[in-house]
Amino acid sequence: MIPCSSTRISFSNKMTRTILIFALLVQSFFPGLGSLLATELSVEENRVLLIALKMEEAFREVKDYHCDVEQFSYQEGSADQHFRFKFYFKKNKKIRVDFDDPYPQLSLFYLEGEDQVTLLPLRFLRWLRFRLSLDDPRVQTPAGQRISQTDMGYFIQFLLTNLRKVSQKEDELEEDGGRVKFVLWAMDYIKGKSLEKYRIIVSKQYWLPIRIERYDVKGTPLEAISIANYAINTWISDQIFQP
């Protein structure tokens, strides 16, 4: 199982000043070492990056998981589409999605390296299946996300990439019992061209997201995803991922 203990995510102001002074002194005599210390200090001061690194560390121990997902998409700030489904994942990137609403018998299957998705419109009719391109809008999220981009490993790497490349406008992070809430500014995960704002809630039990809200740069809602009932490392059979 993934460790569920929390970690201290920020230095006290006094300790930070002490380390900074030490780093500056070292920089004067050992420039290379000083740069390394300055880099480590900047990581410690970025509280959201520390959470993302904790998530990455925890996900390394995940062999498989499944969870229940509820997803809302918005058009011009108003709710547009709604989906409920069960999501199955197994390394190396085996994915299955069983819809509950609005398509109660629909399942999608994807295996890493393939450029197609298998679609079963009726799960009880195993012989009735279709193969569609990864880029076919019928097997993408309303925002255009491919099924190969929907697992939590992909999302965690998305967090880390944007925390290192995109200037964060605010340092908004709050711990509430067994949860951590934070804000991320990121380039959109489809084309990487538009700046967007994410509000994310992470479970400290598993260090995985339980709520992801996506907004445009003006604060208009684009998408909201709730994830519940995580089951981690339950030795999911490979047969689950065979249509």
Q: Give DSSP secondary structure letters for the chain.
A: ------------HHHHHHHHHHHHHHHHH-HHHHHHHHHHHHHHH-HHHHHHHHHHHHHTT-SEEEEEEEEEEEETTEEEEEEEEEEEEETTTEEEEEEEES-TT-EEEEETT-SEEEEESSTT-TT--EEEETT-GGGS-TT---GGG-SHHHHHHHHHHHHHHS--S---EEEETTEEEEEEEEE-TTTS-SEEEEEEEEETTTTEEEEEEEEETT--EEEEEEEEEEEES----GGGG--
Residue matched to tokens 């934070």 = 182
Q: Is residue 187 part of a domain?
A: yes
pLDDT tens-place string over residues 59-84: 999 999 999 999 999 988 888 899 99
Whether the pLDDT of residue 4 is over 60: the answer is no
Residues with Cβ within 8 Å of residue 170, at least 6 apart in sequence = 183
- Boundaries of domain holding 173: 64-241
Tell whether 144 and 69 lie within a shared domain: yes
Q: Is residue 147 part of a domain?
A: yes
Q: Is residue 183 part of a domain?
A: yes
Tell whether 79 and 144 lie within a shared domain: yes
For residue 226, the one-letter residue type is S
Q: What angle do CA 27, 29, 30 make, to 5 degrees?
A: 65
Q: Is residue 80 part of a domain?
A: yes
pLDDT tens-place string over residues 170-222: 668 999 889 999 999 999 888 888 999 999 999 999 999 999 999 999 999 99
Q: How many structural domains comprise the chain?
A: 2
Tell whether 8 and 99 lie within a shared domain: no
Q: Is residue 78 part of a domain?
A: yes
Whether the pLDDT of residue 1 is over 50: the answer is no
What pLDDT, on a 0 to 100 scale, did the predictor assign at position 16? 41
Whether the pLDDT of residue 40 is over 90: the answer is no
Tell whether 109 and 228 lie within a shared domain: yes
Whether the model pTM is above 0.85: no
What pLDDT, on a 0 to 100 scale, did the predictor assign at position 170? 67
Q: Is residue 50 part of a domain?
A: no
pLDDT tens-place string over residues 230-242: 999 999 999 999 9
Tell whether 104 and 200 lie within a shared domain: yes
Starting at the earlier edge strand, list the strands of the sheet with 221-232: 130-133, 116-120, 107-111, 94-101, 78-90, 64-75, 221-232, 208-216, 195-203, 179-187, 173-176
Q: Of 19, 22, 21, 60, nearest to 43 (Cα)?
A: 19
Tell whether 90 and 201 lie within a shared domain: yes
Tell whether 41 and 135 lie within a shared domain: no
Tell whether 107 and 220 lie within a shared domain: yes
Q: Is residue 53 part of a domain?
A: no
pLDDT tens-place string over residues 116-166: 999 999 998 989 999 999 999 999 988 889 999 999 999 999 999 999 999
Tell whether 28 and 120 lie within a shared domain: no
Tell whether 38 and 104 lie within a shared domain: no
pLDDT tens-place string over residues 86-121: 999 999 999 999 999 999 999 999 999 999 999 999
CATH number at residue 159: 2.50.20
Q: Is residue 100 part of a domain?
A: yes
Tell whether 164 and 203 lie within a shared domain: yes
